[in-house]
Structure 1
């Protein structure tokens, strides 16, 4: 995940969690909103379970070692506007989030870190 032009990357810990979740739930997707559940935490769902629409943008298709298909990373258009000059870095921290993301039962939650590009 070291592409200097990548808009989204996963930390090694996040990639490992994606591999574990993929083994249980099948193909995955992320959606980065800016809204209610857990503030602006990225939510991980089985691919296609979260309905995207005209107000969402496919920001990246993440390749994860050991995972056959890419993991799509969607963002709401309004958040894309706010984060347009930023690389989003998906990380994992201990503690349970308050949303519906797949990692919640694991006792961890995905978190966005960022870097200006």
Structure 2
């Protein structure tokens, strides 16, 4: 593989692992990126091993399988106050979703009743 293709594959994989922020095997990365970028399996394996050697991603070995993930040191620490704010936002949004779903059910029921009711058509 040429250096340009190798660098491109490495940057695509690094960006993908950072965005997803979860562990993947090289097979998983290959499956997820093949359709969009047309990366070959050997290119993915080689790029992931290179990124791990460079310290840009971390590698763990479980038996015969290698798992790769983004280095967590690159992400900012989140304090308790920020987590509580996020939890509150999640609770508020969940309540809004629930209320909207209830309202939608009520309106659908009303529509069904009106659709099934007799009309007063003129003769």
**TM-score, normalised via structure 1 length:** 0.25
Q: Which has the higher helix share?
A: 2
Larger RCO (CA within 8 A; separation ≥ 6): 1
Greater CA radius of gyration, 1 or 2? 2
**TM-score, normalised via structure 2 length:** 0.24
